[in-house]
Amino acid sequence: MNSDNRKEWNDNGNDTLTPSRVREDGYGMMDNGILIDLTLFEHRSPDGDFQNVVTIFYATTMDQDGGGYRCAGCGQIIPTNRPVFLMTNLQHMYPCLDEGKWVWWTVSSRDVKTLKGME
């Protein structure tokens, strides 16, 4: 990514990258066609602070009862191939296709499970 693209991301970030431009692998496509790895950039949280990505995971790793994991914004089941990002402020950030926006929510530590579903 050249310095102009990095400046554009730093200035606008996920304010300009729509959820429909986020791929299953955690990359996003900028308006100019450049693919960026969303784990390498800061993201503006709803409170205006910038946060980094800790890890990417998928709804299948969060689905505790087999009924599907739901978006905290719209309540729709998160597709198994859509990335969810754990951020440095311990919130989840999700590019919701149904709402067309980035959804942030806090998950209490007791609700965070390992890949095998154990606490």
Supply the pLDDT for residue 80.
86
Domain definitions of the chain by residue range: 3-111
Supply the pLDDT for residue 45.
93
**Could you give the CA distance from residue 89 to residue 49 in angstroms, rounded to a whole number?**
9
| 10-residue mean pLDDT series, the chain (119 residues) | 52 72 94 92 92 88 68 91 93 95 82 49
Contact at 8 Å (CB) between 92 and 85?
A: yes
Supply the pLDDT for residue 70.
86
